[in-house]
Amino acid sequence: MNIKKTAQLTGHNAAIFALAEGPDERQFFSGAGDGWVVQWDLDNPDLGKLVAKVEQQVFSLCFLKKQNALVAGDMNGGIHWIDVANPENTKNIAHHQRGVFDILAIGEHVFTVGGEGKITRWSADEGRALESYHLANQALRCIDFCEIRNEIAVGGSDNAICFLDAGTLELRHTLRQAHANSVFTVRYTPNGRHLLSGGRDAHLNVWDLDYDHHKFHTQPAHWYTINHLVFHPDGHLFATASRDKTLKIWDAANFELLKVLEGGRDGGHLNSVNRLLWSSHENLLVSASDDRTLVVWATEY
**For the chain, what are the domain ranges?**
2-14+100-300
Entry pTM: 0.97
Cα–Cα nearest to 95, from 64, 71, 70: 71
- Report pLDDT for 32: 98
Mean per-residue pLDDT for 47-53?
94
- Report pLDDT for 179: 98
Helix (H) or strand (E) holding 265: helix 263-266
| Residue 301 pLDDT greater than 80, yes or no | no
- Report pLDDT for 47: 86
CA atoms in the 13 A half-sphere facing the CB of 51? 26
At 46, the pLDDT band (50, 70, 90 cuts) reads confident
In sign, the C-alpha dihedral spanning 179, 183, 185, 186 is: positive
- Report pLDDT for 1: 84
- Report pLDDT for 187: 98
| Residue 205 pLDDT greater than 90, yes or no | yes
**Arch. (CATH architecture) of 2-14+100-300:** 7 Propeller (2.130)
| Residue 81 pLDDT greater than 80, yes or no | yes
Mean per-residue pLDDT for 44-71?
95
